[in-house]
Structure 1
Amino acid sequence: MNEQASIVRTGRKFDQVLEGAREVFMADGFEGASVDDIARAAGVSKATLYSYFPDKRLLFMEVARNECARQADAPMDLAGACCTPRDVLCAAGRHILSVSLSEFGLRMFRICVAEADRFPDLGRQFYESGPMVVRARLRDYLKGAAARGELQIEDFDLAADQFAELCRADLVPRLIFNIDTEFSAEERERVIAGAVELFLARYGG
């Protein structure tokens, strides 16, 4: 978005605004978050906040973009190293599941669903700023692995999506529907191991 592209993302006060907005959005949701509360949490004036973000939706998307960029940095770090597909997929799977089970991931999902009718582009922009970034990195890794003969894949987008969904099996639905709120390391590893085994059984070279 052009308005977003013009925002200067530097400075101590800008960081304060983002941190304050993150705190309020996560606690109150998008609609419940007031500019007054965000300015108070950030320790800045409303004028300062508006100088960075004239629209609350832009502020919400910047919070989402900033957090997603931070969380998306890790999953494909192993792709350039001398690791087997199993090693890389295990690392990527742990990252995908960890983000999906995080407080941020859960609250962002609920906010986007809750605001889907009034702000239909909110979910799309969030998806593009976070999940789509991870998907693209995973797809690029899969292309490289296939080129090296390590995997046999024709539809890389579908394979990346399939792997991500396998990593969310069981635990994420239980979290979304409030059946369980915490999961042990053993439960997480069980899901990741199953996802990697099934994926490699289908696409292994």
Structure 2
Amino acid sequence: MATAQAQIRKGRKFDQVVEGAREVFLRDGFEGASVDDIARAAGVSKATLYSYFPDKRLLFMEVATRQCQEQAQTSIEKIDHSRPPPEVLTCIAQQFLGFIYSEIGQRIFRICVAEADRFPLLGQEFYHSGPMIMRAALVDYLRQAVGRGELVIDDYNLAADQFAELCKADLWPKVVFGIIHSVSEDDKARVIDGAVTTFMARYGVAGSH
């Protein structure tokens, strides 16, 4: 199956276009972002913009995946594999929630859902650029923690996914359904503490809590 990247031509002003698009998408959202505004913010002609991205969704996907890759890389660099599980899990959760509740994180999620039927590659590329990378990093850490006798896990992928879901408890559905529009640091800390405590109760061993 051809990837969306195959439809994108790169060139001298490619980064310029992507940065201009990021600015406009953040300000106006996906539907509200016009090609004229993006070209103006990027300092290029519409013809140049279209030569790189023949579809606005492809441009948004480039912005989204780049943002996710940067976030995933930053998060992975902060993981100290030598530290005990509660400390590392707390750090991972802070990075995770910081992104999914950020303005760009929320826009990316909503647009991926809205465009899922018409443009399924959007969600697929987003998942592979961020969530899948972070999941793999968490699985790698969990294996090392098990090897040190700090955790007991049979299904690493399931355990990693369970932790991610614990981190979304309470707040995530309220944000998605518009019940709340912002999440405080205290709210996030409460959920993270509960997620780590619950995870350790399931997978921890004596002395690792």
Same fold at TM > 0.5: yes
Larger CA deviation: 190-199 vs 100-109: 100-109
- Are 1:100 and 2:115 matched, yes or no? no
The one-letter code sitting in structure 1 at the alignment partner of 2:5 is: Q
Number of residue pairs aligned between Structure 1 and Structure 2:
203
Counterpart of 1:170? 170
**1:145-156 equivalences in 2 (<5 Å):** 145-156=145-156
C-alpha distance 17-82 of structure 1, shift in aligned 2 (>3 A)? same
Checking the alignment, whether the CA contact within 8 Å between 1:76 and 1:88 is kept in structure 2 is: no
What is the TM-score with the length of structure 2 in the denominator?
0.86
CA distance in 1, matches of 2:9, 2:63: 13
User: Sequence identity, in percent?
Assistant: 61
**Tell me, which stretches of 5 or more residues in structure 1 are unaligned?**
none
**1:55-66 equivalences in 2 (<5 Å):** 55-66=55-66
What is the TM-score with the length of structure 1 in the denominator?
0.88
Checking the alignment, whether the CA contact within 8 Å between 2:81 and 2:144 is kept in structure 1 is: no
CA distance in 1, matches of 2:103, 2:186: 20
Checking the alignment, whether the CA contact within 8 Å between 1:90 and 1:192 is kept in structure 2 is: yes
CA distance in 2, matches of 1:172, 1:155: 25
C-alpha distance 182-201 of structure 1, shift in aligned 2 (>3 A)? same
Query: What is the CA deviation profile of residues 62-82 of structure 1, one whole-angstrom value per residue up to 9, with x for unaligned ones?
Result: 111110011112323344453
Query: What is the CA deviation profile of residues 16-69 of structure 1, one whole-angstrom value per residue up to 9, with x for unaligned ones?
Result: 211221233334444553322211221211232234333333322211111001
Checking the alignment, whether the CA contact within 8 Å between 1:69 and 1:129 is kept in structure 2 is: yes
**1:1-205 equivalences in 2 (<5 Å):** 4=5, 7-8=9-10, 13-205=13-205
C-alpha distance 102-135 of structure 1, shift in aligned 2 (>3 A)? same
SS at match of 1:143: helix
C-alpha distance 78-60 of structure 1, shift in aligned 2 (>3 A)? closer
Query: What is the CA deviation profile of residues 109-130 of structure 1, one whole-angstrom value per residue up to 9, with x for unaligned ones?
Result: 1111111221122212211111
C-alpha distance 57-78 of structure 1, shift in aligned 2 (>3 A)? closer
CA distance in 1, matches of 2:158, 2:180: 29
Deviation at 1:101, TM superposition (A): 0.7
